[in-house]
Amino acid sequence: MGSKNKLKRFKENLNFKNLFQPSRGNLIENHFELKGKWNSFFKNDNPIVLELGCGKGEYTTELAKSNPKNNYIGIDIKGARIWKGAKESNLFGLDNVAFVRTQIELIDKIFFENEVSEIWITFPDPQIKIQRKKHRLINSSFLSLYKKILKKGGLINLKTDSEYLHGYTLGLIEAMGIEPIFSNHDIYSNNNAPSEVLEIKTFYEKKFIDSKKITFLKFKFD
């Protein structure tokens, strides 16, 4: 994407009422006004579902269309990508959708403890090199953050084409004494895979669906 298109999208992002772009400094100082008050934005007390590293927000918007009684929030640091989800949700009049442009490691500055009901992580960079381990959206530090903001029994969903990340995550949760609710290494060959996993395909997934097996893992903290 050219720099002119990016600048155009960044400018348009400023006009989306459902896209929030708090500064890192304000978040660290706990100055984000919607923390613990997302019900005031959505004007209801419906469950909050996150898509972390949402990219273009495909899961955020598609899940919102199918489940109007849930509120969906996509989080990503890439403003030019998140623009697509924000624009589409406005075009479709999805009042149960919001986006936050920030780093995932700051989510406990965006949500109170026990404020979130479910988390989706779709096709994150597996960060296979050991020196990149701290950047994986699934590692012990991030799991601690997720557990902090999730309600008791809150769900985590991981959809990926990385067998490595799938297996790594299984090992992590098993070491924590957590039994997966659902785990499969090839969901399109499994008749029991959840419908939302099969029916919603990201731009990335569509590019590789014929050449790679797609895995899915669902679990919750006790």
Q: Domain limits of the chain?
A: 3-220
User: Which secondary-structure segment (H or E) carries 150?
Assistant: strand 150-160
- Cα 190 to Cα 63: distance, rounded to the nearest angstrom: 21
- Which of the four pLDDT bands, split at 50, 70 and 90, describes residue 94? very high
- Cα 222 to Cα 212: distance, rounded to the nearest angstrom: 32
Summarised one tens digit per residue, pLDDT across range 180-207 is 999 999 998 877 889 999 999 888 888 8
Average pLDDT of span 124-137: 84
Summarised one tens digit per residue, pLDDT across range 43-88 is 999 999 999 999 999 999 999 999 999 999 999 999 999 999 999 9
pLDDT attached to residue 150 = 97
Contact 123, 202 (CB under 8 A): yes
- Cα 51 to Cα 186: distance, rounded to the nearest angstrom: 22
Summarised one tens digit per residue, pLDDT across range 143-163 is 999 999 999 999 999 999 999
- Cα 80 to Cα 18: distance, rounded to the nearest angstrom: 15
pLDDT attached to residue 203 = 82
Average pLDDT of span 3-7: 81
Looking at 76, 108, 125, 222, which residue is catalytic?
125
- Cα 55 to Cα 76: distance, rounded to the nearest angstrom: 6
pLDDT attached to residue 210 = 76
pLDDT attached to residue 174 = 94
Query: Under DSSP, is residue 16 helix (H, G, I), strand (E, B) or coil?
Result: coil
- Cα 79 to Cα 214: distance, rounded to the nearest angstrom: 27
* Distance from the first to the final alpha carbon of the chain: 44
- Cα separation values, 157 from 22, 49, 72, 108, 124, Å: 26, 11, 14, 19, 12
Helices in the chain by DSSP H: which ranges? 3-13, 24-28, 38-42, 58-66, 79-91, 140-149, 163-175, 195-199, 203-208
User: Which secondary-structure segment (H or E) carries 98?
Assistant: strand 97-101
> Catalytic: 186?
no
- Cα 39 to Cα 47: distance, rounded to the nearest angstrom: 9
More confident residue, 128 or 107: 107
Q: Is 1.20.1280.290 the CATH classification of the domain at 3-220?
A: no
Strand partners, 215: 160
pLDDT attached to residue 130 = 79
